Amino acid sequence: MLQKRYTDTEKLITNSAELKITEDAEVLIYSGDKWYDKVFVDLNGKEQQFEELKPHIAYIAEHLCEMDLIAQKYSALHGDSEFVQGYEIAYVYLDGLDKIRLLYYGMIENTEFYVVFSHVKDKFLLQSFGMQKNIPSTWEKQYNKAFHSGRIVPT
């Protein structure tokens, strides 16, 4: 089942002026109620670029829910309809201005994996999901077909 997460404007930091870097080179972009509900952008090695990256970080925070929904859809397409109950985003890594990695932590199983996106023309394109690399752009068509056939049920 799909669930819109990371949308609470009280917890989401989308204003560049409010972003702060920690001693550990992390920037908090979502502050939930529980310890595992916090989402950080890890700037390790990019601390000197923090000021120029602020608008980009705020943009990522603003679109965190969108990227999470893409991950949920891909997971549902491959049979995991309970993705939202089992995994949450913990860290975001900037591998360039057009490449974003989300680190998901398992909340039931002790596991973690990356979901990688490229950002092209205001669109987030799924590149890899855990061990699945080089995801074809046609996966969304497959998802829509499965959704319309009733194989995937939304919340």
CB atoms within 10 A of CB 65: 17
Share of the chain above pLDDT 70, in %: 95
Handedness of CA 118, 132, 27, 44 (dihedral sign): negative
Distance CA 73, CA 126 (A): 11
Residue from 68, 117, 73, 70 nearest 88 by CA? 68
pLDDT at 81 over 80: no
Query: Does residue 154 sit within a domain?
Result: no
Q: Are 139 and 130 in contact (CB under 8 A)?
A: no
Share of the chain above pLDDT 90, in %: 72
Query: Does residue 95 sit within a domain?
Result: yes
Quote the pLDDT of residue 49: 94
Question: What does the mean pLDDT of the chain come to?
Answer: 91
Query: Does residue 11 sit within a domain?
Result: no
pLDDT at 154 over 80: no
Domain count, the chain: 1
The parent domain of residue 115 ranges over 16-148
Query: Does residue 125 sit within a domain?
Result: yes
pTM score = 0.92
Tens of pLDDT, residues 37-47: 899 999 989 99
Q: Tokens for 27, please give them.
A: 């920037």
* More confident position, 148 or 117: 117
